Structure 1
Amino acid sequence: MGSNDFITLFFLVAAVLIFLQLRSVLGRRTGSEKPPFDPYSPRDVAKNPGGDDGKVVTLPRRDATDDEQRYADVDAVAKPDTPLNAALREVVKSDPSFRPREFLNGARMAYEMIV
């Protein structure tokens, strides 16, 4: 028996042992597994196409004073009629929860941590 036969036999035994260990750890399919979950599948639409099943929630309307307050917050951070003010107003318009003062405080803390 040559050295090549011994090496081949060694790797064959190692492969069989690794296969058996993986099989015991990972298990086998029995047919009673749950189907894989697809978060992007339209399950609710398929169950009730076009129907209302009582899950619609009406949100409260915003007042005009809410918009004025958010824009006043922007004016407090950036001078009116500047490109920065216009850009911040666009951000507030697209994301009503954006607060410029909180954003600046967070950016300041991040800058200090980085530097």
Structure 2
Amino acid sequence: MKNRIFTGAPSETLAGYAKAVIVGTTIHVSGTTGRDPLTNLFPEDAGQQARNALTSIDAALREAGSSLADAVVSRVYVTDPEAAAAVSPVLGEVFADIRPTSTFLICQIPAPGAKVEIEITASRNIA
């Protein structure tokens, strides 16, 4: 059985996806960009974009009964090497004790202004 978490973002309906999907004890969180939650704009700094994305991902994980502490896989997409250099220390800080597996790719991101997109798979305990 699958449970889905939606944020109400217009893109969820437009592109036909959920913020997160729970399958048993596994939570898959969609790729998340780092818009500022107050302005809805992308900060210039890719590191801050990563922090914003991880905060949004953690909120979805918490709604699903988990958190970033339960991350088992991270997939990080950045637009260029400079963005990668800014994002890596943020990931190192957040995942210092968690150590999920990781994929890090340089590619285009379809949201203008986005320099980073992060996707997480996490586990959860169910009693």
**What is the TM-score when the length of structure 1 is the normalising length?**
0.22
Which of the two has greater helix per residue? Answer: 1
Q: Which has the higher strand share?
A: 2
Look at both structures and tell me which one has the larger radius of gyration over its CA atoms.
Answer: 1
Larger RCO (CA within 8 A; separation ≥ 6) = 2
